Structure 1
């Protein structure tokens, strides 16, 4: 064979070899894990074990972002815990009503979370054997720490803390209005917010903007700049009060 014939043949074989490598590295692991994955189970084994049901237990596990997260229990010398804040931020997004309400387990897989098929099989077996009610798996968050083992995360505590802080802001605002003899404005403000938020269609962005304008005009009639008064009495942006 001449070089004119050898070189094209080498090029074709090299291209075929590279294509085989790409398919093996990037494409082959997916069908293999789908059918035969062992580390966290696989969809085929899960479906065969669970079958098709009206209600199914979905278990998600974090991807690489949590591997070097650090201690989420102890606060640092400055009284803060960046690892815990980072973890709770990721979990809060993943467990928001918008995510959990209308999505199947497959749709909840993303760059941060994958499905743990083995754990889903185990949880379903617990339900079938009456070891736990399916309602017990409505929202359970677990995190593993080398120093602490498995921990249960209670997001209700975070929500309660936020609610308590919000209540304190409202009381501070009420007291500030009472001190200047404008307590009636406080109750009229409450009435407006409750009325608008209970209207059909929910408290949409447009309705919130309308309510904010209505409240500002109400306070302005009494010579009070709502935004500035809220900031002076509560210490946060006025948007928190509308």
Structure 2
């Protein structure tokens, strides 16, 4: 299955990028993503990640909208069948023909005429609401092009690892990357992007992530899997990325840290902290640091802000006794939480 070639705005080859001009936390996109980025709309903002929920769970979640949309479609078909003759009779009357909907103004009272009018207005209002507010659901679910939830599942099935591509709804790259405040300083970044990658929110499966600010781009999800099968990209190349297009720079990306990344980053810093002290011949300071941290952590009240300040003061005193600048060592390893 080759990725589709949808028509999007033509994007010229970006010029040589000066990374210092790309707003934090974004960086220039990797050439490995080029085949995927070519499928996207540069006016939109995208979020990609890998959905690793069990296939059976995904099936259960997907069954609910299938049943719901099928029920709505059947309701609309039944209403069309049952109300069709009534609307046809009213239409005939409008064209001047006599039908079952024609009101004899000579044989009916004004009260009866008002009652008939109100009944028909109510019928029009209910049927319009049914079509306008609910009718769009089964249409987009079953028939939206170039892809829809049903065609997506029909082609992909249910897998252990699925690429999820969310696309901004009612806002886009200009809102995020133009103006005085861009990137993480932008209001859209704080109110649209960060809530969408919140740790608790990311526990949801893909179909539950749609809302007022984000939709699922089913065609891009199919394209992504096609590119993975073609070995053009790897699954990991699309995990936890925010993608947006910036004038003068082309596509820029930000990969946020997952929970395992944070833990691993902290572990590596501790290892580097110990290695640095060992190379200085001061490995004993590392073990003294761990003793002080554990001692304060186990005290009543837990590791409070005040407790952390006490730890820092005690550790600094220990380091000073050995002629070592604690803050300089911590800075050299990138900081310690």
Indicate the TM-score class for this superposition, using the shorter chain for normalisation. Answer: 0.5 to 0.7
Q: 1:196 to 1:112 in 2, by over 3 A?
A: farther
Q: Distance in 1 between matches of 2:254 and 2:243?
A: 6
Within a 5 Å distance, the mapping from 1:100-139 to structure 2 comes to 100=202, 102-139=203-240
1:53-74, Cα deviation, whole Å (9 max, x unpaired): 12211111112243651535xx
Q: Distance in 2 between matches of 1:126 and 1:218?
A: 53
Of 130, 136, 142 in structure 2, the residue corresponding to residue 23 of structure 1 is 130
**CA contact under 8 A between 1:189 and 1:215: conserved in structure 2?**
no
- Looking at structure 2, the residues matched to 15 and 82 of structure 1 have their Cα atoms a distance apart, in angstroms, of 50
Which structure: greater helix fraction? 1
1:3 matched residue in structure 2: 110
Q: Which runs of 5+ in 2 are unaligned?
A: 1-107, 270-286, 315-335
In the TM superposition, residue 145 of structure 1 has moved relative to its aligned partner by 3.3
Match of 2:157 in 1: 51
Q: 1:210 aligns with which of 291, 299, 302?
A: 302
Aligned to 1:38: 145
Shift >6 Å, 4+ stretches: 187-190
Instruction: Please state how far the C-alpha of 1:130 moved relative to its aligned partner.
Output: 2.4
On the 8 A contact 2:241/2:256 being kept in 1, the answer is: no
1:144/1:150 contact within 8 Å kept: yes
Contact 1:143 1:152 in 2 (8 A): yes
**Normalised TM-score (structure 2):** 0.45
Alpha-carbon spacing, 1:12–1:96, altered in 2? closer, same or farther (3 Å): same
Q: For residue 177 of structure 2, what is the aligned residue in structure 1?
A: 71
1:214 offset after TM fit, Å? 7.5
Aligned to 2:72: none
Structure 2 counterpart of 1:203: none
Residue matched to 2:185:
85
1:234 maps to: none
Measured in 1, the distance between the counterparts of 2:229 and 2:246 equals 30
- Deviation larger for 20-29 or 145-154: 145-154
RCO higher in structure (CA 8 A, sep ≥6): 2
Q: Structure 1 regions of 5+ residues with no counterpart?
A: 168-186, 200-206, 223-240
Q: TM-score, normalised by structure 1?
A: 0.60
Q: Deviations over 1:65-107 (max 9, x none)?
A: 43651535xx84xxxx25642344332332233332x320012
Kept after mapping to 1: 8 A contact 2:296/2:302? no
Which of these two proteins has the greater Rg computed from alpha carbons? 2
User: Is residue 151 from structure 1 mapped to residue 257 from structure 2 by the alignment?
Assistant: no
